[in-house]
Amino acid sequence: MLETVNVSKSFKGTKAVQNVNLYLDKGESVGLLGPNGAGKSTTISMIATLLKPTSGEIKWNGVNIVHKPGEIRKELGIVPQELALYEQLSAYENLKFFGSIYKLKGKELENRIQHALEIVGLRDRQKGLVKTFSGGMKRRVNIAAALLHKPQILILDEPTVGIDPQSRNHILEMVRTLNETEDTTILYTSHYMEEVEQLCDRVYIMDHGEVIAAGDQSDLLSILSSEDTINVELSMVSEPFVEQVNMLEGVRKVEVANTGLKLIAKKGSNLISELVHLADEHQIQLVHYQTESPSLEDVFLHLTGRTLRD
Amino acid sequence: MGSFIKKDILLFLRDRKEVVIALLLPLVLIFIFNFAFAGLIDDDEIELDLQLGLVNKDQSVAVKDELTEKLIEDGDFQPEEATVIAEQALDFEPAEIIKNSLENEGMDQWMTVHPLNEEQAKEQVTSEEIDAMLVIPEQFTVESLYAGITGKSPDVSLEYRLTEETMSNGAIYTIITGIIDHLNYQFVIGQVADDNAVELIEPKGGVERLGAGEDFTIAQYYTIAMGILFALFLSMTVASKTSEEIRLHAFDRILITNSHPILFLMGKMVSTFLLAWLQMMLVFALANVLLDVFPDRSWAFWLGMMLVTAFFALAVAGIAAFFTSISLRITNLEAAHGVLNLVIMVFALLGGNFVPRFVFPGFLQKMSDWTPNGRTLSILTDWLQYQQWSSLIIPSIILTSFGIIMTLIGLVIYPKRGRES
């Protein structure tokens, strides 16, 4: 359905995206993960035909949309990270404007507006000016505006940034419903790993403008199949202590967490006695020790050496 | 395109600050400028020192014979009758009456008449040594007497030349029309057409007939000037919303709807046209209601105002198209605002929106005519005085052409994808 082939984009000689290859099949829900500056938004802008790639092809049902952007535009709904709305207009006026420039009119336009408002749960607030809405409500209108023309593919660029948990849950549920009941193909980017884990069938991980890993969740987790993630809760953390932990046999990565350390170590490594001994030397009390199965967050840490929100 | 127009109008009207600036600020400024510049026009204590070149080309020596012959040949009079009438008519000497009226004792305190030949007079008008020149043409005495006797329009008329319309030559014109009225009254020929007497010829060769002119007040001048100025600002306001739309990514959302990017530009233009026209007419109407700026004016006057305002609004719409394209081209939004503000301020200064055009030196007045606001001010102040429909044609074409040229420039620099990438 959608495929990018060796897509690159440079801005004044600086490469923002390099040789990105990804594909989406109809009805799939695909996640695009990466920290700030990884190239996610640039990739999305190229898919949405807002930016022209420096090289490479983007194919929509086999047609290169770099040269024929109209082919995807009519089938594409985009929810940008920023609120692409007129704040001085009401939710209804915004949807009416965007719907009418999709050439919807009359009763059909009215029905689509009401349907989109129903999906985002804002029918009763449709006459309110957007500028008077909370952050979560604004984001929901932002999504409604992308649904008016019943797009085959919906691209959501970090749609839950900076909103309350209730609105966040509402948006996640809404995306899931669109994917499952209306068969809308989803490309979802987020900083929140758990959102991607919850919503997406497959995941692309981007860093420094490149796709560094791809696959479904089990594929990605298998990257860490030879490793364990160990959470160690401590009374305090000191730099010399962290340095010595890092030198322990089997330890591959050490990350300082809020109340202790998160270790990625060779599978089966039994580090508890060595950690107790080391903590004692540094007059640190080991409060809790737990080995857990790796998550996508761990995979990301393993691949990039940093967390998603670094 | 209707959706784009409606969106831009709504965005403007929902911005209370902009609405207040567009409607109330002009009224406040009209009041302030009216107070500050009142002396320029309304001060009764102004001393006039008018300089008029008088060219008398009427050197007829056999007036009686020529008049008799004309009465017989053109007027179907019997020879005896014609001879008697011509004899009596010799008591009137129109050219002399005009000359004496201009040079009489009361008049010479504030007007100096310089007898000149035509070439000298033209040169001095051009070099602004004299305010205006009046040419009494050949055969003026015979033709005027014949016209007075028969009630027909004369074949010759006085020529009144000037370089630029100013307070001074406007005053001279008023004096001359007064003398002609007096002359007509002496002939007791009320049936003589109004256009029989004075013809105004500009040095470039254009001929304009003037009706009965009225003075305009400084309040009227500034009402028009402020209406025009804030309509110019409005073009910037509407266009600069483009920057806002880019910042908010609403423009991106418009682009991916697959609607033609030109519709966005056209929407800006049409909404600017409508808003500029409405804004100016509201300022004129409010100034009239609140400050009694245009008292006792006819519907025809207001119709003319609406028409000229519409042509200026077309020019403003063209400017909005140009500004919109600039906003899309310049990625630094602050810089874009700065450029647009600068253009407007240059237009405003040159066009006479702050300092009255008629106090400008000649070259600045000429430059002023090249700005749409200066040209419109000129048309509307003429309209205030003479209310001649024919005088609106050429300036309206110029304003429309300006709007078209600005639109074309806007289209040429408009990014192909709607936005540079």
Q: Which CATH number characterizes residue A43's domain?
A: 3.40.50.300
Q: Do A89 and B10 touch (CB under 8 A)?
A: yes
pLDDT 10s digits, A16-68: 889 999 999 998 999 998 888 888 889 998 998 888 899 999 998 888 888 88
Nearest to B3 among A69, A74, A97 (CB): A97
Q: Are residues A44 and A22 in the same domain?
A: yes
Q: Region A193-197: what's the mean pLDDT? A: 83
Share of chain B above pLDDT 90, in %: 11
For A238, the domain range is 225-304
Residue B261 pLDDT > 70, yes or no? Answer: yes
pLDDT more than 90, % of chain A: 19
Following DSSP, what letter does each residue of A257-275 receive, concatenated?
Answer: -SSEEEEEEETT---HHHH
Residue B42 parent element (H or E): helix B39-42
Q: What is the CATH number of the domain that holds A243?
A: 3.30.70.100
Mean pLDDT of B245-265: 80
A225-266 pLDDT, tens digit per residue, is 677 888 899 998 888 999 999 888 888 888 888 788 988 888
Is residue B181 scored above 80 in pLDDT? no
Average pLDDT over residues A3-25: 89
Whether B1 and chain A come into contact, CB under 8 Å, resolves to: no
Instruction: Looking at the structure, tell me whether residues A148 and A182 fall in a common domain.
Output: yes
Q: Test B250 with A102 for CB contact under 8 angstroms.
A: no
> A214: which strand partners?
A204
Residue A34 covered by a domain = yes
Query: Could you give the CA distance from residue A98 to residue B91 in angstroms, rounded to a whole number?
Result: 84
Average pLDDT of chain A to the nearest whole number:
86
Q: Where among A172, A191, A221 does a domain terminate?
A: A221
Burial group, residue B332, by CB count within 10 angstroms (0-12, 13-18, 19+): exposed
Check CB contact under 8 Å for A80 and B4.
no
Say whether the ipTM exceeds 0.95: no
Q: Pick the residue from chain B with its C-alpha nearest to A79.
A: B253
Question: Quick one: angle between helices B261-291 and B393-413, nearest 10?
Answer: 140
Distance from CA of B132 to the nearest CA of A (A): 57
3-state helix vs strand vs coil in chain B, percent to 5: 65, 5, 25
Give the gap in angstroms from C-alpha A54 to the nearest C-alpha of chain B.
Answer: 10
Tens-digit pLDDT profile for residues A261-278:
988 888 777 788 888 889
Quick one: A187 and A52 in the same domain? yes
Identify whether A309 is part of a domain.
Answer: no
Give residue B315's pLDDT: 93
Instruction: Tell me how far the alpha carbon of residue B106 is from its chain's centroid.
Output: 32
Q: Which of these three, A221, A251, A277, is where a domain ends?
A: A221
Dihedral sign, CA of B113, B117, B122, B124?
negative
Task: Judge if A217 and A231 occupy the same domain.
Answer: no
A273 with A201, same domain: the answer is no
- B258: contact with A, CB 8 A cutoff: yes
Give mean pLDDT, residues B153-172: 66
Burial class (CB in 10 A: 0-12, 13-18, 19+), A104: buried
Q: For residue B43, what pLDDT is reported?
A: 47
Strands B50-56 and B132-136: parallel
In a domain, A261, yes or no: yes
For B224, half-sphere exposure in the C-beta direction (CA atoms, 13 angstrom radius) is 29
Q: Are residues A232 and A144 in the same domain?
A: no
Chain A positions touching B10 (Cβ under 8 A) are: 88-89, 93
Structural domain contains residue A277: yes
| A310 in any annotated domain | no
CA A115 to chain B, closest CA, distance in angstroms equals 19
Looking at the 3D structure of chain A, how many domains does it have? 2
Answer yes or no: do A216 and A232 share one domain. Answer: no
Q: Are residues A66 and A78 in the same domain?
A: yes
Angle at A203 between CA A199 and CA A208, to 5 degrees: 130
Residues whose CB is less than 8 angstroms from the CB of residue B155 and which lie 6 or more positions away in sequence, other chains included: B139, B143
Q: Closest approach of chain B CAs to the CA of A60, in angstroms? A: 15
Residue in B7, B258, B417 closest to A97 by CB: B7
Q: Are residues A199 and A290 in the same domain?
A: no
| C-beta separation of A165 from A13 below 8 A | no
Q: Give yes or no: residues A87 and A145 share one domain.
A: yes
CA A242, CA A275: separation in Å to the nearest integer? 11
What SS3 state is found at B370? coil
CA torsion sign for A111, A113, A118, A119 is positive
Distance to chain B for A13, nearest Cα, Å: 14
In the predicted structure, residue B314 carries a pLDDT above the cut 90: yes
- Residue B3 and residue A73: Cβ atoms within 8 Å? no
Per-residue confidence (pLDDT) for residue B274, from 0 to 100: 93
Task: Please list the alpha-helical segments (H only) found in B296-391.
Answer: 299-329, 333-351, 362-368, 372-386
- Domain termination site, one of A181, A203, A221: A221
Q: Does B3 contact chain A (CB < 8 Å)?
A: yes
Instruction: Answer yes or no: do B249 and A76 touch at CB < 8 A.
Output: no
Using one digit for the tens of pLDDT, what is the confidence trace for A70-101?
888 888 888 888 888 898 899 999 999 999 98
**Cβ within 8 Å, pair A50-B256:** yes
The SS3 call for residue A75 is coil
* pLDDT (tens digit per residue) in B25-80: 888 887 787 777 665 555 444 456 778 888 888 877 778 888 888 888 887 788 88
Out of A142-146, A199-203, B155-159, B230-234, which region has the weakest mean confidence (pLDDT)? B155-159
A51-65, B133-147, B156-170, B174-188: least confidently modelled range: B174-188
Any domain includes A86? yes
- How do beta strands A227-234 and A260-266 pair? antiparallel
Q: What is the pLDDT of residues A209-224, one digit of tens each?
A: 888 888 887 777 777 6
Q: How far apart are CA B366 and CA B355, in angstroms?
A: 15
